[in-house]
Amino acid sequence: MSTIDSTATPAMTTARVVAAYVEEARAECLRYLRNPGFLLPTLLFPSVFYVMFGIFLAHANSADAPRYLLASYGTFGVMAPGLFGFGVSLALERDTGLLTLKRALPMPPGAYLLGKMCMALLVAAIVSAILLCLAIFVAGVQLPAWRIGGFFLLEVLGVLPFAALGLLVGTLVKGQGAPGVINLIYLPMAFLSGLWFPLPVMPALLQAIAPLWPAYHLNQLALSAMGLGQGGEALHVAVLAGFTVAFVAIATRRLRRHG
């Protein structure tokens, strides 16, 4: 005679699993869109820099400067949603116990990370759209539709390696120290990847180590999307994919062990 375990948790139907993923993604996106302390700096920094250097000062240097700086500040802009959206928030939520609470809720384990990824993709899309509008309608950059679409898609997907890096950092540091650590990664990486100054004018040592940073590879792809690339796109894509997989694998292992 068989017995029924009345304490067993019923399995969620496919519809409920999908609904849980969608609801977590929606809640995460709304939470960050309603947070001016995160949203305004993320949107304004790359836009203000592009207005200053890509519009007011660019034409005095080169006719291609607005396109070149659109690629550079596009890369700079999509780094922040991944690094800060994942790194700082994950560290804080681990400290406050929110991550532990979410694990106890009847929701799919991956919904938490998927929600943050959707948030990072959405904010990266907004940043890219703002920069494209400034470039086309203010700076007078003329691009065919396929280049506009290619650049937009590249920058939106380009947030993923930085989201993976932010995820890893969020498993390594405490909440109070996370903003400082992220800034120590964010700003030096932007400089060393040639986003603020062209690599050819930088010292030979900095040029040699630039390929160590994911921002360098994304920027090379962004320059190619603008028609200013130097080839090797497949290699840059492979390196970015490798960074993403490695960071996620290490971070996932640490979350399983240390929470």
pLDDT tens profile 195-251: 988 888 889 998 999 999 999 999 999 999 999 988 889 999 999 999 999 999 998
Q: How far is CA 190 from CA 14, 142, 199, 204, in A?
A: 42, 26, 11, 17
CA 75 to chain CA centroid, Å, is 9
In angstroms, rounded to a whole number, what is the distance separating the alpha carbons of residues 98 and 94?
A: 6
In angstroms, rounded to a whole number, what is the distance separating the alpha carbons of residues 84 and 71?
A: 21
Model confidence band, residue 2 (pLDDT cutoffs 50, 70, 90): very low
In angstroms, rounded to a whole number, what is the distance separating the alpha carbons of residues 192 and 199?
A: 8
Token duo for residue 193: 């990847």
Token duo for residue 118: 């959707």
User: Of 144 and 252, which is predicted with more confidence?
Assistant: 144
**Domain residue extents for the chain:** 15-258
Residue 23 reports pLDDT greater than 90: no
Model confidence band, residue 259 (pLDDT cutoffs 50, 70, 90): low
Mean pLDDT confidence for 172-192: 91
Q: How many CA atoms lie within 13 A of 74 on its CB side?
A: 35
Model confidence band, residue 181 (pLDDT cutoffs 50, 70, 90): very high
Going by C-alpha positions, the residue among 23, 38, 204 that lies closest to residue 123 is 38
pLDDT tens string 37-48: 888 889 999 999
In angstroms, rounded to a whole number, what is the distance separating the alpha carbons of residues 197 and 200?
A: 9
pLDDT tens string 32-74: 888 888 888 899 999 999 999 888 876 666 778 899 999 999 9
pLDDT for the residue 1:
45
Q: What is the mean pLDDT of the chain?
A: 87
